[in-house]
Amino acid sequence: MNAEKVDYAQLDGFANVYLEDSFVLEVKATPGLLVLEVELVLAPQHPAYHPPAPGEQHCYARATIEFPNVRNLMWADQGTPPAVDASGAKDFGGIDALFWNGSVFHVEGDWGAIDVASAPPVVRTWP
C-alpha cells in the first residue's frame, strides 16, 4: 500500500468507537466474508453507549466488525494462540490498526495482519 493511509474513524459507523482498547474474541475468514467478534469500546456519543460497568474504564459492547464482499484476503502472522481467562473466555488482544486505501483494508493485532479487498466494513453491536 503505497498511497496515503486513511484511519478507521473516517469510515461510516466507526466515528464513535475506539478500537485500540477493544478486545478481539474471534477472527473468522470464510469465502466472501471476514468477521471480527469483539468487545468494542463505545464513546459517549455512540447510540448504544452506557456507563462503564463497575471496575471498568470504558463502555464495552459485544459487536462484530464485518468485511463483506471479500474479493481477496491475505493473513500474515496468524496462529498466535489466544489468552484464556479463568472463565474460559478467549481473548486475541486488541486491534492495533485499521486503515484503508481504496477498497483494500488493513487490520492488525496480536492475531496477525490482514489485508482484505472488500466492501467497507460494517460494525454491528449486539443487543
pLDDT band per the 50, 70, 90 thresholds, residue 1 = very low
Query: How many other CB atoms sit within 10 Å of the CB of residue 40?
Result: 28
* Residue 94 backbone dihedrals phi, psi, to 5 degrees: -95, -175
Q: Are 73 and 114 in contact (CB under 8 A)?
A: yes
pLDDT band per the 50, 70, 90 thresholds, residue 86 = low
Asked whether residue 35 carries a pLDDT value surpassing 60, the answer given is yes
> How many Å apart are CA 81 and CA 79, to the nearest integer?
6
What local confidence, expressed as pLDDT, does residue 102 receive? 80
The residue among 38 and 84 whose pLDDT is bigger is: 38
pTM recorded for the entire structure: 0.89
Task: State the amino acid at position 115 in one-letter form.
Answer: D
What local confidence, expressed as pLDDT, does residue 80 receive? 72
Of all residues in the chain, the percent with pLDDT exceeding 90 is 67
Asked whether residue 114 carries a pLDDT value surpassing 50, the answer given is yes
Section 11-32 average pLDDT = 92
